[in-house]
Amino acid sequence: MGTIMTEQTQATDPKKPVPSQTENKPDIIRVEGMNKWYGDFHVLKDLNLNVRQGERIVICGPSGSGKSTFIRCINRLEEHQQGKIIVDNIELTDDIRNIDTVRREVGMVFQHFNLFPHLTVLENCCLSPIWVRKTPRKAAEEAAMEYLERVKIPDQANKFPGQLSGGQQQRVAIARALCMKPKIMLFDEPTSALDPEMIKEVLDVMIELAGSGMTMICVTHEMGFAKTVADRVIFMDGGEIVEEAPPHEFFTNPQEPRTQKFLEQILQH
């Protein structure tokens, strides 16, 4: 678990991105009355969420609460059975053209990196720009090198994923997603599979990305990250959104008993 920053350090932290000014921005994601079942099991219950362009959302909650399933619905890695999900003005339905369009605009970073082991780091980054965006290879490689520099591993470009550490692999995965120039980035527990000393290098990259104005939805247990970066924190339990608040309010004055209990448990140490 990351360290919890006090109010003072947070205020003076040079890394803290400027709070995003998104009040007047249009919604880029709209989720309305969304329900999902696995067979008889009701995983997601009547979810509603609007995300404005440039907003940074952190979703937390106990395991099995449906948070990963929820963000996987946003790029249709999971199907929802009821309600609407509209991403960048495109509704996710069974139409595969819509799904492919949305996926091109939504980048995703997985808990277990999911890099392609048979391709080098650079090829991992270039695969989709070349085959999906039809970028010339040279331009794609140049862009990829730029992003690899941004995640601070340009020197590993010609290695294979198996030759890198977990933290390096996750940063490559972030660079790979960014190479598609997405409008939205989804993070599914990006630091949960990492050794403690590697968590920071990945969080630093994510904080830097937040500072650049990217719309981000992040499922994470890193409460320090949530305090630093999030515009809103969402607490899920049992497939429902229990509480939704700005981080300051969320951590100092949670309204719901379930949230209070969760925070007590994770903030004790």
Partner 1 sequence: MKKQTVDSRPAGPKPWYDPRIRSIFFQFIAIALVFWGGWTLVDNTLSNMESRGISTGFGFLDETAGFGIIMSLVPYDATMTYGRTFLVGLMNTLLVSAMGIVAATILGFIIGVARLSSNWLVAKLALVYIEVIRNIPLLLQIFFWYFAVLGSLPSPRQSVEVADSFFLNNRGLYLPEPMPQEGFGLVWGAVIAAIVVVIGLRAWAKKRQLATGQIFPTFKVGVAILVILPTVGYLAAGAPLEWEFPALKGFNFGGGITIIPELAALWIALSLYTASFIAEIVRSGILSVSKGQTEAAKALGIPNSLTLRLVVIPQAMRVIIPPLTSQYLNLTKNSSLATAIGYPDLVAVFMGTTLNQTGQAVEVVAITMAVYLTISLAISLFMNIYNRAAAIKER
Quick count: other Cβ atoms within 10 Å of Cβ 229?
Answer: 26
Enumerate residues 6+ apart whose C-beta is below 8 A from 137: 126, 130
Length of the chain (residues): 269
CA pair distance 116, 203, nearest whole angstrom:
22
Interface with partner 1, residue 267, by CB under 8 A: no
Q: How many CB atoms are closer than 10 A to CB 5?
A: 16
Nearer to partner 1, 15 or 137 (CB): 137
User: Is residue 93 at the binding interface for partner 1, with CB under 8 A as the rule?
Assistant: no
Q: Whose structure tokens read 């990492």?
A: 194
Shorter beta-carbon distance to partner 1: residue 15 or 118: 118
Stretch near partner 1 under the rule CB under 8 A, chosen from 5-13, 28-36, 169-177, 240-248: 169-177
Structure-token match 């990250």, residue found: 225
Compute how many residues bind partner 1; rule: CB under 8 A: 37
Decide whether 135 or 156 has the Cβ nearer to partner 1: 135
Interaction of residue 139 with partner 1, rule CB under 8 A:
yes
| CA atoms of 85 and 21, how far apart (whole Å) | 24
Which of 44, 173 has the CB closer to partner 1?
A: 173
Shorter beta-carbon distance to partner 1: residue 22 or 128: 128
Q: Binding of partner 1 at residue 229 (CB under 8 A)?
A: no
Nearer to partner 1, 56 or 103 (CB): 103
Position 79 contacts partner 1 (CB under 8 A)? no
Options 4, 5, 77, 207; binder of partner 1; rule CB under 8 A = 77
- Work out whether strand 184-188 and strand 215-219 pair parallel, antiparallel, or are unpaired: parallel
Residues 124/115, Cβ–Cβ less than 8 Å: yes
105-134 binders of partner 1 (CB under 8 A): 106-108, 110, 112, 114-118, 127-128, 130-134
Regarding 100 and contact with partner 1 (CB under 8 A), the answer is: yes
Q: From the CB of 1, what's the least distance to partner 1, in Å?
A: 25
For helices 166-178 and 196-211, the axis angle rounded to 10 degrees is 20
Beta strands in the chain (DSSP E): 27-38, 41-52, 56-60, 82-87, 90-91, 106-109, 184-188, 215-219, 232-237, 240-245
Task: Verify binding: residue 95, partner 1, rule CB under 8 A.
Answer: no
* Interacting residue ranges for partner 1, rule: CB under 8 A: 75, 77, 96, 100-101, 103-104, 106-108, 110, 112, 114-118, 127-128, 130-140, 160, 162-163, 173, 176-177, 180
